[in-house]
């Protein structure tokens, strides 16, 4: 059991029958009345963020969560097959568990959060930035290649489509944000 004095960002606990994690919290001690803690909680299963206020000293049932690194192997009808980098154990997780999974290539390292007591995967996260090779794109028009605000569609080695600046050509390796699928920079070779 954890009390409100143990609250910290990332703490996982049971709330209204589901596992939630603390996104942000604020201890408030008003001049009149008892202290309380204002929180923003993310539901692990749905990803929905809710706000809730806890009275100071309230106890919650904390959940032990472990973060483990896995390597992406391949995709089949069961989902995404990944391998633990320490024990070499292979598991399958649903593709919906990873946001922007189409940016993931074979061999990519991802981090999976497990409910430690039940050995159940809760969430999976890719690194914030990945390097991908551009396999097809239209050629930039002469005069537009210097402008960085003009964008064109491109397909990368994983099959994902995204928007890149006009000066990017086929064969270039680029860094892409896995959060919003935006182009970051071209990798110098």
Q: What is the DSSP track for 73-128? A: EEEETTEEEEEETTT--EEEE-GGGSTTGGG--TT-EEEEEEETTTTEEEEEE--S
In this structure, what are the phi and psi dihedrals at residue 65, rounded to the nearest 5 degrees? -120, 135
Domain 2-62 belongs to what topology? SH3 type barrels. (2.30.30)
Q: What is the pTM of this model?
A: 0.73
In the predicted model, residues of the chain with pLDDT beneath 70 are 140-148
Looking at residue 147, what is its pLDDT? 52
Q: Looking at domain 129-186, what is its CATH homologous superfamily?
A: Nucleic acid-binding proteins (2.40.50.140)
Q: Domain map of the chain by residue range?
A: 2-62, 65-125, 129-186
2-62 and 129-186, same CATH topology: no
Whole-number Å distance between alpha carbons of 173 and 189: 8
Looking at residue 140, what is its pLDDT? 67
Looking at residue 148, what is its pLDDT? 52
Looking at residue 96, what is its pLDDT? 83
Q: Which residues of 34-48 are buried (b: 16+ CB within 10 A; e: fewer)?
A: eebbebbbbebeeee
Could you give the C-alpha distances from 166 to 27, 61, 65, in angstroms and in order?
49, 53, 44
């Amino acid at each position: 059991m954890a009390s409100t004095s143990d609250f910290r960002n990332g703490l996982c606990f049971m709330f209204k029958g589901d596992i939630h994690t603390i996104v942000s919290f604020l201890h408030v001690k008003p001049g009149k009345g008892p202290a309380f803690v204002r929180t923003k909680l993310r539901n692990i299963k749905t990803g929905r963020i809710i706000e809730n206020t806890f009275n100071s000293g309230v106890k919650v049932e904390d959940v032990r969560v472990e973060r483990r690194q896995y390597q992406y192997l391949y995709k089949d009808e069961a989902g995404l097959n990944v391998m633990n980098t320490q024990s070499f154990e292979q598991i399958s997780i649903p593709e919906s568990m990873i946001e922007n999974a189409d940016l993931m290539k074979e061999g990519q390292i991802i981090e999976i959060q497990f409910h430690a007591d039940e050995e159940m995967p809760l969430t999976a996260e890719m690194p914030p930035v990945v390097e991908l090779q551009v396999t097809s794109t239209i050629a930039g028009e002469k005069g537009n290649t210097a402008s960085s605000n003009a964008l064109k569609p491109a397909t990368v080695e994983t099959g994902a489509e995204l928007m890149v600046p006009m000066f990017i050509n086929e064969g270039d390796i680029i860094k892409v944000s896995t959060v919003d699928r935006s182009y970051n920079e071209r990798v110098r070779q």
